[in-house]
């Protein structure tokens, strides 16, 4: 335990000095989870809280990586030393993954920038812990901003992107009509909308549907509640058009968060969410252990015999966890 | 390190556009449960080394179909060593039998030819990683 703690501290110190390979190894440890990951996240947390976190999300194939590549180039040219965390799905069958986001970014990356690919991996909630820890690590080592690129398919992925300071939602023409745009979900977490592939037919329809959705937010009072109306930017990431507007929008949103003091709320929300995720995982794993024990077997039998309901069984198991603490 | 998730970088160096083989290998390794960091075409030794550092890769696979393996293969191996990285390099693609020994003498861990089965591809990558871990 002590030696693993020493090893983590040594790697962390070396990463802070700018040793990229150490940062790569720390990220591997964070992804693996467990004690080592907690030590590293703890070290990073002490000195983090400075960087601006940008989440980029949207449907598969909407052009998130290509847009991220463009932003990488623009930020690098402006002298920013940024980190990108690109999340791709793992195969639920084999646990393997093809992480292909770098092919759209490598040419455009400055030497100072750092790109890491991360697979969602199977274990429940793993991503929910690994992503915030990776953000804190990049933050602690001095990367600014940190871009998280994730497929907006699952709730965890939406949470992860939505927990950013600035969330960019990428949509493409033909994603559905105005009713789709009004459904709750991904679109609600957006601080900036990008209509990508804007050369395609239907791009102006997509823009109109989003405008309409935001107008309805004005009518319903949502806009007044948040005090902010997300801009909609037309982009063609393959050609690079619109990327500079996205960059400006990210910077103005960051300024808006700072001036309104909302940045503190976002940062707090992110940490509260992380604590909550960790609580759920801790209780979840303890509950799994209990389920496998005699007590659990007893409860399961009672449920099977229709003597108690699944809800009552769950309550009694949680009750026994609280009693044992 | 039984629970360690293996991460493999796959790339093609320089001017070599034949990427059917590397895509097949990517899929084979994915289906064997590995995480493949796919860099694709027109990489340089420097971009591959940078990716290997950032991604903390366990192995690097280079696909070569332009007869440049005797020049570029050892160059890649040199770049990996020069960066202070201890990551096995595996070359796949069109490599004549008589060139294999020379490649193996210049720091390349293994060579996979066109006839290699999915099992051979996976076993070769796993063996190269475990040989490195033991060393």
> Is B4 close to A27, i.e. CB distance below 8 A?
no
> Is A24 close to B27, i.e. CB distance below 8 A?
no
Q: How would residue B1 be classed by pLDDT, with cut points 50, 70 and 90?
A: very low
- Which pLDDT belongs to residue A67? 94
Measure B134 CA to nearest chain A CA, in Å: 18
> Is B85 close to A21, i.e. CB distance below 8 A?
yes
- Which pLDDT belongs to residue A154? 64
Q: Please indicate if any CB of chain A lies within 8 Å of the CB of B51.
A: yes
Q: Does residue A190 share a domain with residue A67? A: yes
Q: Does residue A223 share a domain with residue A118? A: yes
* Nearest neighbour of A97 by CB, restricted to B35, B50, B56: B35
Q: Does residue A94 share a domain with residue A42? A: no
Mean pLDDT across A80-84: 94
Q: Please indicate if any CB of chain A lies within 8 Å of the CB of B129.
A: no
With beta carbons under 8 A apart, name residues in chain B contacting A116.
54-55
Q: Does residue A73 share a domain with residue A32? A: no
Higher-confidence residue of A172 and A246: namely A246
The answer to whether A43 and A8 are in contact (CB under 8 A) is: yes
Q: Does residue A300 share a domain with residue A194? A: no
> Is A98 close to B27, i.e. CB distance below 8 A?
yes
Q: Does residue A191 share a domain with residue A282? A: no
> Is residue A248 included in any domain, yes or no?
yes
Work out the end-to-end distance of chain A between its first and last CA atoms, rounded to an integer number of angstroms.
23
> Is B53 close to A116, i.e. CB distance below 8 A?
no
DSSP reduced 3-state for A57: strand
Q: Does residue A314 share a domain with residue A242? A: no
Q: Which of A16-25, A104-113, A155-164, A236-245 has the lowest mean pLDDT?
A: A155-164
Half-sphere exposure of A214 (CA within 13 A, CB side): 19
Higher-confidence residue of A110 and B10: namely B10
A84-99 confidence digits (pLDDT tens)? 999 988 888 888 999 9
Q: Does residue A12 share a domain with residue A54? A: no
- Which pLDDT belongs to residue B3? 66
Q: Which of A193-197, B1-5, B48-52 has the lowest mean pLDDT?
A: B1-5
> Is residue A273 included in any domain, yes or no?
no
Distance CA(A123)–CA(A289), nearest Å, equals 16
Domains and CATH numbers, chain B: 17-58+76-134 (3.40.50.280)
> Is A116 close to B32, i.e. CB distance below 8 A?
no
A127-143 confidence digits (pLDDT tens)? 778 899 999 999 999 99
- Which pLDDT belongs to residue A43? 95
Question: Closest residue of A to B23, CA-based?
Answer: A98
Number of structural domains chain A divides into: 3
- Which pLDDT belongs to residue B2? 46
Q: Does residue A164 share a domain with residue A194? A: yes
> Is A100 close to B33, i.e. CB distance below 8 A?
no
B66-93 confidence digits (pLDDT tens)? 899 999 999 999 999 999 999 999 999 9
Q: Please indicate if any CB of chain A lies within 8 Å of the CB of B84.
A: yes
Does residue A272 surpass a pLDDT of 80?
A: yes
Give this complex's ipTM: 0.91
Q: Could you tell me which residues of chain A have a Cβ less than 8 Å from any Cβ in chain B?
A: 20-21, 23-25, 27-28, 31-32, 90-91, 94-100, 102-103, 106, 114-117, 119, 121
Distance CA(B8)–CA(A227), nearest Å, equals 46
Residue B24 falls in which region: left (phi positive, over 0), alpha (psi -120 to 50) or beta? alpha
How is A117-165 classified by DSSP, letter by letter?
EEE--SSTTHHHHHHHHHHHHHHHHT-BSEEEEEETTSHHHHHHHHTSS
Q: How would residue A122 be classed by pLDDT, with cut points 50, 70 and 90?
A: low
> Is A98 close to B26, i.e. CB distance below 8 A?
yes
Q: Does residue A292 share a domain with residue A306? A: yes
Q: Does residue A299 share a domain with residue A155? A: no
> Is residue A269 included in any domain, yes or no?
no
With beta carbons under 8 A apart, name residues in chain B contacting A90.
35
- Which pLDDT belongs to residue B60? 98
Mean pLDDT across A241-247: 95
Q: Does residue A147 share a domain with residue A132? A: yes
Q: Which of A49-58, A178-187, A277-286, B53-62 has the lowest mean pLDDT?
A: A178-187
Interface mutation target, options A106, A107, A127, chain B, most CBs of B under 10 Å: A106
What is the extent of the structural domain holding A292?
A: 278-324
Measure B116 CA to nearest chain A CA, in Å: 20
CATH of the domain at A151: 3.40.50.300
Q: What is the mean pLDDT of chain A?
A: 87
Higher-confidence residue of A55 and A126: namely A55
Does residue A125 surpass a pLDDT of 70?
A: no
Burial class of residue A133, CB neighbours in 10 A (0-12, 13-18, 19+)? buried
Q: How would residue A177 be classed by pLDDT, with cut points 50, 70 and 90?
A: low
Mean pLDDT across B30-44: 94
- Alpha helices for chain B (secondary structure H): 20-31, 45-55, 69-82, 97-105, 118-134
């Amino acid at each position: 335990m002590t030696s693993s703690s020493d090893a983590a501290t040594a790697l962390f110190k070396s990463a802070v000095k700018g040793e990229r390979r150490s940062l790569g190894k720390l990220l591997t440890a964070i992804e693996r989870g467990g004690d080592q990951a907690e030590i590293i996240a703890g070290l990073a947390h002490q000195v983090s809280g400075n960087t601006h976190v940008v989440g980029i999300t949207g449907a598969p194939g909407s052009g998130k990586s290509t847009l991220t590549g463009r932003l990488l180039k623009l930020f690098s040219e402006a002298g920013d030393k940024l980190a990108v965390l690109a999340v791709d799905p793992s195969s639920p069958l084999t646990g393997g993954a093809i992480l292909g986001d770098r092919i759209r970014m490598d040419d455009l990356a400055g030497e100072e920038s750092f790109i890491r690919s991360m697979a969602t991996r199977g274990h429940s909630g793993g991503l929910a812990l690994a992503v915030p820890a990776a953000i804190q690590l990049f933050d602690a080592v001095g990367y600014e901003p940190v871009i998280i690129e994730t497929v907006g398919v699952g709730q965890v992925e939406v949470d992860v992107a939505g927990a950013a300071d600035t969330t960019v939602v990428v949509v493409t023409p033909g994603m559905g009509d105005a009713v789709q745009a009004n459904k709750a979900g991904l679109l609600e977490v957006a601080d900036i909308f990008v209509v990508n592939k804007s050369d395609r037919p239907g791009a102006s329809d997509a823009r109109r549907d989003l405008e309409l959705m935001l107008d309805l937010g004005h009518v319903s009072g949502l806009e007044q509640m948040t005090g902010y109306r997300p801009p909609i930017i037309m982009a063609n990431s393959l050609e690079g058009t619109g990327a500079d507007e996205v960059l400006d929008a990210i910077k103005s949103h960051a300024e808006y968060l700072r001036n309104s003091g909302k940045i503190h709320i976002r940062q707090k929300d992110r940490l509260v969410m992380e604590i909550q995720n960790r609580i759920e995982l801790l209780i979840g794993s303890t509950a799994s252990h209990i389920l496998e024990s005699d007590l659990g077997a007893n409860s399961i039998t009672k449920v099977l015999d229709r003597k108690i309901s699944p809800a009552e069984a769950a309550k009694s198991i949680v009750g026994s966890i609280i009693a044992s603490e | 390190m039984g629970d360690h998730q293996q991460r493999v970088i796959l790339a093609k160096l320089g001017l070599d556009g034949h990427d059917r083989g590397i895509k097949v290998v990517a899929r084979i390794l994915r289906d064997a449960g590995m995480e493949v960091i796919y860099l694709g075409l027109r990489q340089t030794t420097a971009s591959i080394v940078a990716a290997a550092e950032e991604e903390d890769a366990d192995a690097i696979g280079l696909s070569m179909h332009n007869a440049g393996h005797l020049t570029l293969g050892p160059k890649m191996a040199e770049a990996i060593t020069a960066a202070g990285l201890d990551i096995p390099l595996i070359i796949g693609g069109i490599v004549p039998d008589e060139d294999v020994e020379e490649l193996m003498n210049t720091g390349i861990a293994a060579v996979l030819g066109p006839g290699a089965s999915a099992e051979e591809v996976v076993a070769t990558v796993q063996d190269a990683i475990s040989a490195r871990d033991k060393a």
